[in-house]
């Protein structure tokens, strides 16, 4: 834990800034933050939420007339800041010419020199993809259709995202090379159809990719039967503990959340004899590249790994598209699983199938597992949401409020996460003060915004604060409690009664309320709507105030694509 005197020294350097900024600066710059900020004021750009004009103002306060637009330190900081901005949209690499153009827009007189300085510093790396790979990938970068005409494209990446993609590629190559025979000999085919195709693929490969539409019950049953037949321990991992029941899992296959998986490996107390020989991760599309790298790196040699995901849903909330890149690389066999075991028999399944096909079907459900609640404007939408969570769903369906998750496309606006969290907290914590200081209080629901394996935190996990003291919080998740201390409270936790749809990727709850306000019409896409409509296992309420924009978004194919390097790395450097 960082000493308080370091935070206080940083606060003195940042004279006049909000007190919380010192905590964040130390969290991102380390214990050397006070000296670093004196030496390089533009290092402040590494702190989330800081804009170039704010860093420039801080530099003028520190350096006076010596704070010039062409200062190499400014150019270096802006390059990293631009790459961080691109990472918020999911990109792990950015064309160098786009970075130079953006630097010129920020008043940097020599953008090429600024890029060179950033490369010398080592935090930014440069890559060149094979020429044949450029038209599709670079041309798909948002707002850059002309990129396909570039014949010699250089790409820039922050070192940590480049290393994460390297880790995924190296781990896949290692697992493919070290797959061991089954201890008791190769088991026979398990079932028929998709289960049989899955076990056939696992027989000869250390890593197998499985695509599914809807639920993954058939996959769970197939892997459980395989582990039992092969007499090997297996682990079935979900990105978060907020998941549907894993029915049909045999005794040979143990369910894990990703948080618990990381926590136990960090403890170093695992029994080698009980280590799983088969590892299956469902909702693999929900993993950003850094989390995927951490998971695969923690997997012992000789394991067979199945990564199963739904390519039609939103990709990870963080940068990268590890599952999609692996599928497209051809490095591993891909098995297309059948849909849910009951086909489209349930109203929720019929709704999801229609959205996948680009349509909004009219679904009648007398049992009220699916309810559409119209709203004329955002204010009415908020009122309906509070009514559903606090009264209608608990009373009509017997699902308590703490098992109902509210989802919305955006953070801003009356019906964004901020407005909805304020309204839901007032309704659910009536008469309970917010606490002696800003931030979560005991009883508050929170969501994790950053995956930090060493701290036992996985993005998207929701929990309840059970203890608050001067050092931080204790948060109770579905599968255990975690201490969240110091700056991590502000870095990694947000109110969790309402969360963004991208943040919900990979999690399910007994009931979900999907809010579609009119202000979010421009944020809607088929993948976002499908993700929102598949988060409730037993019930879904749709509070609909988006008008015709919803049908238009579902009918339209998603045109944006993340720019990454992983699939080309797998093909070119590892011969996969």
Q: Model confidence over 436-490: pLDDT tens digits?
A: 456 788 999 999 998 888 788 888 899 999 999 888 899 999 888 999 987 788 8
Mean pLDDT for the chain? 85
Q: Which residue has the higher pLDDT, 289 or 148?
A: 289
Alpha helices in 298-403 (DSSP H): 322-329, 347-356, 378-387, 393-397
pTM attached to this predicted model: 0.88
User: Per-residue pLDDT averaged across 21-28, rounded?
Assistant: 83
**pLDDT band at residue 30 under the 50/70/90 scheme:** confident
Is residue 150 pLDDT above 70, yes or no?
Answer: no
Per-residue model confidence as pLDDT tens digits over 340-356: 444 567 888 889 989 99
Give just the sign of the alpha carbon dihedral 461, 467, 470, 471. Answer: negative
Q: What percentage of residues in the chain have a pLDDT greater than 70?
A: 86
pLDDT higher than threshold 80 for residue 270: no
Residue carrying structure tokens 């045109």:
559
Tell me the average pLDDT across 187-213.
79
Provide the pLDDT for residue 184: 52
Label residue 534 by pLDDT band (50, 70, 90): very high
**158 in Cβ contact with 197 (< 8 Å):** no
Return the biggest CA–CA distance within the chain.
Answer: 77
Q: What is the mean pLDDT of residues 319-347?
A: 81
Higher local confidence (pLDDT), 459 or 199: 459
Q: Which pLDDT score is estimated for 198?
A: 81
What one-character-per-residue DSSP string does 427-444 give?
Answer: HHTTT----SSSS--TT-
Q: Of all helices (H) and strands (E), which one includes residue 72? A: helix 72-88
> CA-CA distance, 555 to 566, in Å (whole number)?
30
Alpha-carbon span 116 to 124, nearest angstrom? 9
Q: How confident is the model at residue 272 (pLDDT cuts 50, 70, 90)?
A: low
Helix (H) or strand (E) holding 159: helix 159-178
Least confidently predicted of 44-53, 284-293, 330-339: 330-339
Q: Give the residue from 555, 511, 515 showing the smallest Cα distance to 534.
A: 511
Cα separation of 14 and 124, whole Å?
26
Q: 29 in helix, strand or coil?
A: helix
In eight-state DSSP terms, residue 317 is S
User: Which tens digits make up the pLDDT trace of 164-198?
Assistant: 999 999 999 999 999 877 655 555 556 667 777 88
DSSP 44: G
């Amino acid at each position: 834990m960082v000493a308080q005197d370091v935070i206080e020294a940083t606060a003195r350097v940042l004279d006049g800034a909000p007190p919380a900024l010192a905590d964040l600066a130390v969290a991102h710059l380390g214990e050397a933050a006070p000296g670093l900020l004196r030496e390089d004021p533009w290092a402040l750009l590494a702190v989330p939420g800081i804009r170039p004009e704010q860093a420039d103002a801080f530099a003028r306060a520190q350096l006076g007339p010596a704070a010039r637009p062409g200062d190499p330190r400014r150019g270096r900081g802006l390059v990293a800041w631009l790459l961080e901005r691109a990472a918020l949209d999911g990109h792990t690499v950015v064309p160098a010419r786009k970075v130079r153009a953006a630097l010129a827009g920020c008043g940097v007189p020599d953008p090429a020199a600024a890029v060179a300085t950033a490369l010398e510093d080592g935090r930014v790396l440069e890559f060149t993809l094979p020429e044949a790979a450029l038209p599709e990938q670079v041309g798909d970068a948002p707002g850059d259709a002309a990129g396909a005409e570039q014949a010699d494209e250089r790409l820039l990446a922050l070192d940590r995202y480049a290393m994460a993609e390297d880790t995924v590629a190296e781990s896949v190559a290692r697992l493919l090379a070290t797959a061991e025979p089954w201890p008791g000999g190769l088991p026979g085919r398990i079932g028929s159809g998709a289960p049989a195709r899955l076990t056939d693929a696992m027989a000869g490969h250390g890593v197998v990719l499985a695509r599914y539409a809807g639920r993954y019950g058939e996959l769970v049953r197939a892997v459980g039967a395989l582990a039992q037949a092969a007499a090997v321990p297996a682990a079935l991992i979900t990105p978060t503990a907020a998941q549907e029941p894993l029915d049909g899992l045999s005794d040979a296959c143990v369910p894990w959340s990703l948080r618990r998986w990381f926590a136990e490996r960090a403890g170093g107390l695992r029994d080698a004899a009980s280590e799983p020989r088969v590892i299956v991760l469902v909702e693999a599309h929900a993993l950003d590249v850094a989390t995927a790298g951490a998971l695969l790196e923690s997997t012992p040699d000789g394991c067979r790994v199945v990564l199963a995901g739904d390519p039609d849903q939103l990709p990870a909330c963080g940068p990268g598209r590890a599952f999609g890149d692996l599928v497209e690389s051809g490095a591993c066999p891909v098995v297309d699983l059948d849909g849910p075991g009951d086909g489209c028999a349930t109203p929720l399944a019929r709704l999801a199938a229609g959205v996948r096909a680009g349509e909004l079907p009219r679904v009648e459900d007398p049992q009220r597992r699916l309810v559409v609640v119209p709203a004329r404007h955002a204010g009415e939408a908020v009122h309906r949401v509070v009514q559903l969570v606090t009264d209608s769903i608990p009373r009509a369906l017997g699902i308590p409020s703490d098992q109902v998750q509210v989802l919305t496309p955006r953070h801003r606006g009356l019906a964004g996460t901020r407005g909805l969290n304020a309204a839901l907290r007032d309704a659910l914590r009536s008469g309970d003060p917010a606490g002696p200081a800003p931030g979560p209080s005991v009883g508050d629901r929170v969501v994790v915004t950053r995956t930090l394996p060493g701290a036992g935190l996985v993005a998207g996990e929701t929990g309840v604060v059970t203890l608050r003291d001067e050092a931080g919080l204790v948060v109770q998740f579905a599968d255990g409690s975690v201490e969240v201390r110091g700056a991590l409270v502000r870095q990694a936790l947000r109110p969790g009664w309402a969360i963004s749809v991208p943040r919900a990727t990979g999690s399910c709850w007994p009931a979900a309320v999907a809010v579609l306000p009119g202000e979010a019409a421009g944020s809607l896409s088929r993948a976002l709507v499908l993700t929102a409509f598949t988060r409730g296992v037993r019930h879904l309420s749709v509070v609909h105030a988006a008008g015709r924009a919803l049908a238009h978004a579902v009918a339209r194919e998603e045109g944006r694509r993340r720019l990454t390097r992983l699939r080309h790395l797998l093909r070119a450097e590892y011969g996969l």
